[in-house]
Each structure stands twice: as C-alpha cells, then as structure tokens.
Structure 1
C-alpha cells in the first residue's frame, strides 16, 4: 500500500521564511528552518513555540496554528464551503492562510513570496461591498476568490479590508489588510453600536484600544476597527506586526477558549503575563493594565471576555499587552437574568454573587496586594462613571451613531457599578 505523501506549508513571519508546517494524514508538525534558528534574536512564532531545532509535535503545534483560523460556526461554514472537515487545520490554512492575525502567512511550497512592496487591491463599488458584506455568513472570508487568502480568529463573521480613498478594497496577493469589518451579530440587536460604544468607552478611560467607527454600506451599519497588528511607516508602506492570543500562548486550542470548557482561567492569564514580565520581555505595567481591563469587562457586562480575546503584541523584539478588542456588553442579551463571565473571579462566574472577600482572594491568586486591587477597582469605577454619560450623550446626538442600545448598556453599567460600590464598602470588614 502506497504511503500518503507528506504535505507542507511554508510559514512566514513578516514576510520572512521561518519554517514549515507539515501534515502527515492530518497529524501536524512544525519545524523552524535551520538557518532561521541560527539568526541572532530571531522572533519566535509563539510563547508556546520557542526557537529550537527540534520538531514540534502535533500536540505542540496544532493549538497555535488552529488559533489562526476562525472557530465555532464560522469555521464550520468555511469548512463546508471548502468541502473539508472543520478539524482539518492544514487544509483550511492552505486555503485561507495568506493574511492571518498578526504577521503569520502560510503558502504552499511552490508559492514563494516575492519581495515586492507594491500593494495591490481590488477596489469595490458600493454595490459590490454591500453584496459581499451581506453574504459573509454564506461565504466566509470570500474563500475561493482569486488572489485573496485571508483568515480571522473568533466566532464572528468578518471581512479583512483596506481603504483606497473612501472605497472599501480587498488586499490581494501578499498585501496586508488594515481594517476589519463586522456585520451585525444575528440575535444580538444593535451589536454594531454596542461594540462601538464599549470600545470608545475603553478609549475614553485610557485603556489601550484601537480606533473604531460605524460604517454604513447601502444604509446598513457595520462595525469597523483599525487593525492594531498593522503599522504604517513614513513612506506609507503597511507592515504586519506579530501577535498571538492568550490561548495560543498558553497552548490551548480555540475550541477550549472558555474556562467552563477547561479553557484558561484569569489566574493562568496573569501567570502568563508574570512569566513574560520576569523574562524582561514585557513591561510590568501591562499586568495592571490587564487588571483594569478585567474590571472594565465586569462593569460593562462583557460575558465573552475569554482568553482568545486578549493578546500579546510583538514589536522590535519587545512584547506588550495588545490593545483590548471585542469589547461588548453581552449582559443585555441575557434572557434568564443569570449573567455569567467567561472566566471566574475567585470561583464566581456571576459578579453579583461576589463580595469584597472574593476580590481580596482574587488579588492573592494573581500576586497583587489587596490595597492595589482596591485602588484598581476604585479607579475603573470612577473613570467609567466619569466618561460613560458624556459618551452616551455624544453618540445619541449624532444621527450616524445614535442607538437605543446605549441606554441599555448604561443601565448595566449603573447596576454593576452599584454592586461593586457595595462590595467596596465592606472592604475592611
């Protein structure tokens, strides 16, 4: 019986060849290129895939590479369109792995990258843009479109684009995209305005968050965010920045992103940051920024703040906590009144069941003093209380951004703020 030949994809980081992903009848392995390993300070693909000459097994490689693909129903739709299994990581990346989150690109062995820096685009008419955006649930990432190979993590439909003037454009060939457009989430009324509000509020209180806008195409609203994993130099050339989400760094496959599914806990996420800080790769302040983000998600009622919605960003040999993204008040869509967070705080998924003691225990579990936890809670509460009303009024006064969802979000923030205030009152008892 003839053996099935090995399949290989060349893996690039910011356009530089770093190694090969191999599939042996679906069993993956990854090996860094020998010459790349010899380079001084060669960037690693992942915390979970450090530079080494030995080959990484399927168990080691699969979580990272699977994390470059969408998950949930989007992956199922993508796989169905390609007539592949959703578990066929190699086959899916072969089809769509040209423009992934961060700076990773995958190409067949004979599709060698060229060194041209001239970007190429397919500029869309308004009609074309409307047709594509309205049909993403049927054709994820425009799979099969000539010259387009894009992938995005997460369980939401989305389209990676650039803008040529004011026109939406699809990057072709090796051109990186600069923005992500997301249509409304089915079953989540006014999700576009919801995410826009929460992301703008994060910016208002000083949390790192990319620029966003509500984009109207054929009079329908779409959520549009500037990619933080892209940078433009002084000549206008767009380059990819490497990043990986916490699941990839923690060696967790994307289907296990929720703690309730044996995914990462907040303690594991903070421990990851502690490791990067102790290594000298990441500034210590990022741990406090992450804590602010956790508290912010509690206040806005974001029950989808799982480990794939936090990332490490790599730039010039240094690591930082990536800007926050996918911030959404999911609590307003909760039908049974039992809002749950994606990751527990001292054993609690439901913030309304917590006490001051739980916050103190949480502080101890992540290695910070109770007094610092108190200060962090007070700071985020004060900052959100100061900025939320003004943002609400500003967005309501603009016909391009007004939405009834803001009042619902404000109600959630008021309720959660009140609960946290009560917990702080008993801090010293």
Structure 2
C-alpha cells in the first residue's frame, strides 16, 4: 500500500495533513492539533469541518478537484507535469502551492514557514506579456519557463501574477513562485474568434455591477497593447512583513460547488446535458442550491439579498453561463459569507455558443422565456418574498438605465470596442425593461399555479 502525504499551510502555520492511498484511491484529512485549538480556526468547507471525527473520502476529493483548472487548461497542466488529468492527487501536488483560498498544499519536505524574502522574483514585462499572448499558437500561455502557472479553476487563458504596487499605475508584475503569492489574475482576449471583445465584455459587465453598487472584484483594462483584463484577487491582500518585505495575506474562499460538496461536473444544473433524456436530470448546482447555503451563514438577510441581486443581474447582462463555480463565499470560524462577484459576461452576445441557462429560473432554461411565471417560480423555490424581488428588480433596472450607456461611452475602449460596448449597453437597457415588467407580474401570480 502506498500512501502519499501533503502538508497544508495557512501563511506560516501548519493546518492539516492530506493523505491519498493510491491503490484504494481513498483520501484522508487530519487537522493539526495546534490549528484546531486556535480561537478563530476554521475548516476547509462545511463538509470538511474541524469538529468531525473523520471526513468522507469523496468529500475531500471533491474539494480538491474543485481547486484545479478545467478543460484545456487542465489537459495542459496534466501533460506538463507528467500526470493523468484524472490524477487529482498528482495535480494538487504540482499546483497546490498557489490555489484559490487561504491554503497551500506543499510536499512534506517543503518548509511552509518560508518568508517572501526568500522568493525569487521573476519579473514579467509588458513586452514579454504581449509576445506570449501573440504566440499562443506556438507555446501554451499558461506555461512559463517550462512551468505551468495556472492553478485556479476555469477554462479561459489566465496568468497569476504578483503586482508590486497598483497595476493601474504600472506596478511591476512577477510570477508568484513559492513562497510569493499572486495578487492579480490576467485574462487576455481568447484566441477563439467566436468570442470577439471578450475582455471588453467582462470589463463592461464588471464595471456596470460596480457602478450599480454591487460587490464585485476590481478590474482594470491593461493594454500590451493587446487588451488584457486584470482582475484583483479578493482572496489576497498585499501587506508588508515586520522587516518591510512585500508579502500577501491569503483569505479563505470557496465556490458554490465546494460549499455544496459536489464535484466540478455538477457546476451546471443540468449536470448530464441539455438535450433529450439527459435534460430531465437536474442534480447539479441550482439557484435553490445557492440559497440553501444560507444555513451556513450568520447574516442571512444580507447574504440572501446579495444572492437574489446576483441572480437578477445575470438576466440584466444576459449571462447564461452563471454556474456553480461563479459564486463564492469567504469562510472563517463564523461560517460562510458571500464574496464579491466575478466572471460577469454577457454570453448572449455570442450566437455561436449555447445560450442555455446554467441555472434555471423555475423550470426555464431559455433566457428569452424568463418572464413573470418563471420569476415567481424562482422566488418560491428560493423562499424569496416576491414583493421584495419586485422592489429590488425595479431599483436594479433604474440603476442599470442610469449607468449602462455612460459606461459604454466613457470606458477605456477603442473604436470597435466602443461599438461593442454600446451594443452591450443597448441590450442591458432592453433587459432592464423586461426585468422590471416581469418581476412586477410575478407578484400577482397565485401560488396555487406554481
């Protein structure tokens, strides 16, 4: 029997030991006694709590799997590190020093107490970044200096960087080799021609959410001169050590799949597929799954309002792909708390891909068919007061009308980008009218019909 071990660290403190039995494909997790007695200690997720005598092997595996990249990025990471894409342990062994959240997964021989002063700072210039984006057909963007530089979930090309200072002011960028941690995620324009102006799309939608007063990650449109979306990580805070060395404090965050203890394949409500018999199966994450996490939250009223606003905002911008890995929570000893929003994109702008909703409003998976009855059904299933939903929809619609066109006109966009942003703004204005109308209709639908 071969059992492998990884030590899990928070900053410079040992938190737990992760074990994997390769023959049995079983997982174990044991929290360190010194961590458990800390006054504000917390577990990885609701399913992996501190007080459990033993943790379910599959729950551990699901939590780890949800930390890893997806799709082609996962294939690249697996190939570059010489492991199979299904080898979850092998992947977290190679990528675990810089995952989402507070914890680092390090081999036993690696000292988790190392200070950032010991890190080699490998700078990335704007010129080098531009060249790497340009040459993505020759060399995979996530591989730098022969090493995979992506360890966060998602499909898009991304690069994790540490920025010394403000990226808006031209702060120097570095690759975050251990023990240095990243502060930003860089997302260049996709190579796929089916997604024109994706960077502008996400920048506009994120900026709109911020202008409307929603909690959202900070974004900046960086130009190399190619457009790159720079996203400030909300699970990272730049700090100075007592010796004055730049460092990064890590805050624990988990996504909805991890909070609900489901595999990454369940990020869509129709977890098997959207056509034929497969469409009948709806075991994946859904809006009711999201609102069910309120049982782990202290300030339920505040978070419930945020969840509802998030659901309604997806309708405003036409984001059909708002799935279980696009909503996250901070986790500490008090439980869960909604994290800022991210990955806000108007998917309906791209006719070449499916517009089926990742999560249904009631029983409706077509965004054009989300009307009064679907919103009423959504509210009932999620235990939302429909009059409250109507008031919030009206406020959000009014705010969207106030900001959408101005953002399109004044945003940092070039000619064709400005035209695309104007197209986005026009769609938002149309959806604002629809949202206000249908939320009003939802109030008057009798519960007996639902």
User: Alpha-carbon deviations, 1:120-152, whole Å to 9, x = none?
Assistant: 521123343234445668546437757x86511
Indicate conservation of the 8 Å contact 1:209/1:324, yes or no: yes
Summarize the alignment of residues 272-421 of structure 1 with structure 2, pairs less than 5 Å apart: 272=293, 274-277=294-297, 280=298, 282=299, 284-314=301-331, 319-335=336-352, 339-395=355-411, 399=414, 402-421=417-436
Q: 1:23 to 1:135 in 2, by over 3 A?
A: farther
Alpha-carbon distance in structure 1 between the residues aligned to 2:415 and 2:162: 21
Indicate conservation of the 8 Å contact 2:197/2:417, yes or no: no
Alpha-carbon distance in structure 1 between the residues aligned to 2:104 and 2:134: 27
Indicate conservation of the 8 Å contact 2:66/2:153, yes or no: yes
Q: 1:18 to 1:267 in 2, by over 3 A?
A: same
Match of 1:97, SS?
Answer: helix
Indicate conservation of the 8 Å contact 1:196/1:223, yes or no: yes
Of 159, 170, 183 in structure 1, the residue corresponding to residue 175 of structure 2 is: 170
Q: 1:125 to 1:189 in 2, by over 3 A?
A: same
Indicate conservation of the 8 Å contact 1:306/1:343, yes or no: yes
Stretch of structure 1 that moved more, 164-173 or 419-428: 419-428
Between the two proteins, the alignment pairs up a number of residues equal to 418
**Gaps in structure 2 of 5+ consecutive residues:** 165-169, 272-282, 446-450
Match of 2:274 in 1: none
Q: 1:401 to 1:44 in 2, by over 3 A?
A: farther
What is the TM-score normalised by the length of structure 2?
0.86
Of 273, 286, 289 in structure 2, the residue corresponding to residue 265 of structure 1 is: 286
Q: 1:95 to 1:115 in 2, by over 3 A?
A: closer
Indicate conservation of the 8 Å contact 1:299/1:413, yes or no: yes
Indicate conservation of the 8 Å contact 1:331/1:339, yes or no: yes
Match of 1:14 in 2: 11
Q: 1:283 to 1:176 in 2, by over 3 A?
A: farther
Given the alignment of the two structures, is residue 100 of structure 1 paired with residue 99 of structure 2, yes or no?
Answer: yes
What is the TM-score normalised by the length of structure 1?
0.90
1:385 CA displacement: 1.2
Alpha-carbon distance in structure 1 between the residues aligned to 2:122 and 2:239: 22
1:360 CA displacement: 2.1
Given the alignment of the two structures, is residue 157 of structure 1 paired with residue 157 of structure 2, yes or no?
Answer: yes
Alpha-carbon distance in structure 1 between the residues aligned to 2:122 and 2:233: 19
Of 208, 224, 228 in structure 1, the residue corresponding to residue 230 of structure 2 is: 224
Of 254, 278, 302 in structure 1, the residue corresponding to residue 264 of structure 2 is: 254
User: Alpha-carbon deviations, 1:40-67, whole Å to 9, x = none?
Assistant: 3311111221113634233110111111
Q: 1:133 to 1:174 in 2, by over 3 A?
A: farther
1:275 CA displacement: 0.5
Of 418, 426, 438 in structure 2, the residue corresponding to residue 423 of structure 1 is: 438
User: Alpha-carbon deviations, 1:351-371, whole Å to 9, x = none?
Assistant: 322332322222222122111
1:19 CA displacement: 1.2
Indicate conservation of the 8 Å contact 2:251/2:330, yes or no: yes
User: Alpha-carbon deviations, 1:205-230, whole Å to 9, x = none?
Assistant: 0001121111112x211111111111
Alpha-carbon distance in structure 1 between the residues aligned to 2:64 and 2:136: 23
Indicate conservation of the 8 Å contact 2:205/2:317, yes or no: yes
Of 185, 206, 209 in structure 2, the residue corresponding to residue 199 of structure 1 is: 206
**Gaps in structure 1 of 5+ consecutive residues:** none
1:283 CA displacement: 5.1
Match of 2:276 in 1: none
Match of 2:377, SS?
Answer: helix
Indicate conservation of the 8 Å contact 2:78/2:85, yes or no: yes
